[in-house]
Amino acid sequence: MKRIAIVIGMAMLLLVSCEKTSFNINDIEYPHKEADAKSNVFETLELDSAKFHFVVGWLNDVEIVFVEKEDSDYHLKSFNVKTGEIDLLFKDSMIIVDALIHPNKDMILIHASNDSTSANLKMISLEGEVLDEISISSSELAIEWNDIDPNLILLTAFYQDWTYDVFLYNGNEKEINSISLEDPFPKWLGSQIVTVHIPEHPLDGGSLHLYDWVSKTIEPLPHDDIVHFETSGKSLLIVKIVNGEAEYQIINQAGTNLNSWTLPAVSNYSEWIIPDISWIGDESIITLAASGGGELDNLSEPFMLVKLEKGEQVVINKNSNLTALKCSPDGEKCLTGNSSEKLIDIREKEEFTWLLLNQN
């Protein structure tokens, strides 16, 4: 059923309680490099800026997937940062609007369109075979792909009047059905769906609920005042604002705390700024953090790239922009920048420009 979309521009993470680790980023010591360590060498990809479309992300630990236009087709390609090899994975006569790489790294979901009122979704193998395909009417489309079962996809279709419908596509049964949820941006948690209910202002956060799409039942989770949440497999990451700080927690489906930490809280007048995160497994993340809290426009220092793993917090780069973050599965390399053109080697703490866009 259609509803007016009232949630705009808000991010939400997830986590539940246990012991929390608070730290001052400026006090963190950098791990020393081995004396004989050598910097990695990465190949550079040069593209015509008029043909370049966007970077999708990491296919594996050395290959980056990107999209460019050649003649009248859009090409999905991979670039090996170690060898410089380029492979064509798929091409489409439709405009490729977006693409998602499944966590199993065996499949890619392509969102393509030729007009502003419809979307075409193709699930392809790495050999370019179309494994499944569906079309849906929408002006904008939000996609949540199940981490465990790639045949399960949540789709939120926004229309020109900003009403929306939430659909669940079950590729196992080849069925697409509308589901009634207040939250236009639900996320998968294992085989179930997590949603947030925001009673008043987004700055105050909301409560999490678990929706069972098989029984069509919904039940509250013991997490309130959540301003952001994310999921990875069966892990939930939540963020709360407590005493002016952003408290992060990662928990599993049983409610066990897997990791927790505190970062400075940053806002932008009407919403909390929660930077992109990149999951490294189901218990660790890489994200961006400010050196101090406050209003985004008043921050005097850039964001820092921080890795949270096994209770440890390590600053990787102290001069990062608040841009999209895409990290390799092994957690050793991250892409940042407006076009994801920068590559940060986490082990060596060095930054490279791997993508050069030439003006022709």
* Token couple for 71: 């003649």
Is residue 10 over pLDDT 80? no
Helices and strands, number each (H, E), in the chain:
0, 33
Is residue 7 over pLDDT 80? no
Which domains, and CATH codes, for the chain?
Answer: 3-31+39-358 (2.130.10)
The rounded radius of gyration (Å) of the Cα atoms in the chain is: 21
Determine which of 37-51, 84-98, 115-129 has the lowest per-residue pLDDT on average: 37-51
What is the reported pTM?
A: 0.87
Centroid of chain to Cα 183: 18
Tell me how far apart the alpha carbons of residues 205 and 207 are, in angstroms, rounded to a whole number: 7
* Token couple for 134: 């569906």
CA atoms within 13 Å, Cβ hemisphere of 355: 29
Are 167 and 138 in contact, with CB atoms under 8 Å apart?
no
Is residue 29 over pLDDT 70? no
Tell me how far apart the alpha carbons of residues 333 and 328 are, in angstroms, rounded to a whole number: 5
Q: Which amino acid is at 175?
A: E
Average pLDDT, the chain: 87
Tell me how far apart the alpha carbons of residues 266 and 293 are, in angstroms, rounded to a whole number: 5
Q: What is the largest CA-CA distance in the chain?
A: 62
Kindly tell me the sign of the dihedral angle through the C-alpha atoms of 285, 290, 292, 293: negative
Tell me how far apart the alpha carbons of residues 50 and 103 are, in angstroms, rounded to a whole number: 30
Q: What is the pLDDT of residue 282?
A: 87
Model confidence at 187, in pLDDT bands (50, 70, 90)?
very high
Of residues 82 and 319, the one with the higher pLDDT is: 82
- Could you give the strand order of the β-sheet that contains 284-289, starting from the edge strand earlier in sequence? 277-280, 284-289, 303-309, 312-320
Q: What is the pLDDT of residue 322?
A: 76
226-280 pLDDT tens trace: 999 999 999 999 999 999 899 999 999 888 999 998 999 999 988 999 999 999 9
Q: Which of 279, 350, 358, 271 lies closest to 318 in space, CA to CA?
A: 350
Tell me how far apart the alpha carbons of residues 246 and 227 are, in angstroms, rounded to a whole number: 9
